[in-house]
Structure 1
């Protein structure tokens, strides 16, 4: 059996006074899994995602991602690790409106120092794969919500990260665009992409997650693996 891509061990995250956002969570995610993280608002879902991404640090416990203890990295090393090994998708896309679609997708490769010609080939491949190549020279503001989320997915995949994190990826979309993104994520996982997504969208979890956990009051209350019909 493959080593876990994500390994959290007895992780607690506290903020000043009050109960901890996470309270002694242990979690392993293996390559190829699509994990949906469910739970009510304030349950600790986003904190969990931020710890995996290295955007936050645990108060106690350890967080290992792709063989690296991300909780021990300084800010610069954490950014470099995230750039190379983790793709991120956000609810409100986080695209740069003054850059074209192609330039938004190219940005992670440029920051990583990938040669322009090789990066351009990769961007063209992703835009074609995600069905948005005709929008390469358009600006994000001219696109629908579903198209903008596809651009965000292409950008997240630019550097071929082993892990894709998604924070409410259908939360800002209408029902048709949400269904489109659900199918996209399902297809990516079918191709072997490891995905961890935080969502309130039960249809998203049911359609593409191979495993679902429910976080309640900072603890994992339920952990269910299941086969997904492709």
Structure 2
């Protein structure tokens, strides 16, 4: 039986003396699923994303992603895990303005030790796939918001990650550009990419995922797949 891409079991995380940010959360995401994690500010969805990404550790419980026990990783191991197993897309792109679009996309492969020519060929293929191949030699500041987010998605896919994490990927975009990114995530899911989108935007959740997990007060309040509550 194929292992799930994400397997979280009885995970809790508390900061300082306040209520737990997450309390005994268990979540499984199978390969090829597209899942939206939704909830208001302070609900725990960002903590959940940080635990999946290896940016934080749970107080109790286990977090496994693509067969890796993320909760056991040290700083160096977590950095290697993020580089090789997951791709991350953020609200504000985080592109390097002094590098061309092609070099921004190729950077994760170069950091992983890939030869320049091989990395640049892969980057060019991704840019073409995402419809922005003509911008490879441009700098990010010359692109629209939607185009920059496409560059960020291409960069996230550079090392063929098992999991694509998108944190409010349309939050800094206008409506038209947001719809473009939503369609892009939907297309990637249709091609078999496992996608987890963290968002407060229910329209985005409905348009590009096939399952919605609602977080409230640090717990999973609802888990809905294909229109039917589980």
TM-score bracket, shorter-length normalisation: over 0.9
1:201 Cα deviation (Å)?
1.7
Deviation at 1:116, TM superposition (A): 1.4
RMSD: 0.9
Aligned-residue offset at 1:121: 1.1
Q: Distance in 2 between matches of 1:18 and 1:157?
A: 37
CA contact (8 A) 2:3 2:66 kept: no
Aligned pairs, how many? Answer: 227
SS of the aligned residue for 1:114 comes to coil
Shift of 1:89: 0.1
The Cα of 1:2 is off from its aligned counterpart by: 2.8
Aligned to 1:132: 132
Q: Are 1:195 and 2:195 counterparts?
A: yes
What is the CA distance between 1:3 and its match in structure 2? 1.8
Aligned residue runs from structure 1 range 117-196, under 5 A: 117-196=117-196
Aligned mates of 1:27, 1:46 — CA distance in 2: 15
Distance 1:201 1:27 in 2: 21
Query: Distance between the aligned counterparts of 2:103 and 2:201, measured in 1?
Result: 30
Q: Which residue does the alignment assign to 2:207?
A: 207
Q: Secondary structure at the match of 2:7?
A: strand
**Aligned partners of 1:171 and 1:34: how far apart in 2?**
19
- The superposition leaves residues 193-217 of structure 1 with CA deviations (integer Å, 9 ceiling, x where unpaired) of 0001101122211111111000000
Give the unaligned 5+ runs of structure 2.
Answer: none
The answer to whether the 8 Å contact 2:103/2:120 transfers is no
1:9 matched residue in structure 2:
9
What are structure 1's unaligned runs of at least 5 residues?
none
Secondary structure class of the residue paired with 2:166: strand
Residue of structure 2 equivalent to 1:101: 101
Deviations 1:97-128 (A, max 9, x none): 11110110010000000111211110110000
TM-score by length of 1: 0.97
SS at match of 2:105: helix
The runs of at least 4 consecutive aligned structure 1 residues that moved more than 2 Å come to none
**Structure 1 residues 209-218 or 115-124, which shifts more?**
115-124
Offset, 1:29: 0.4
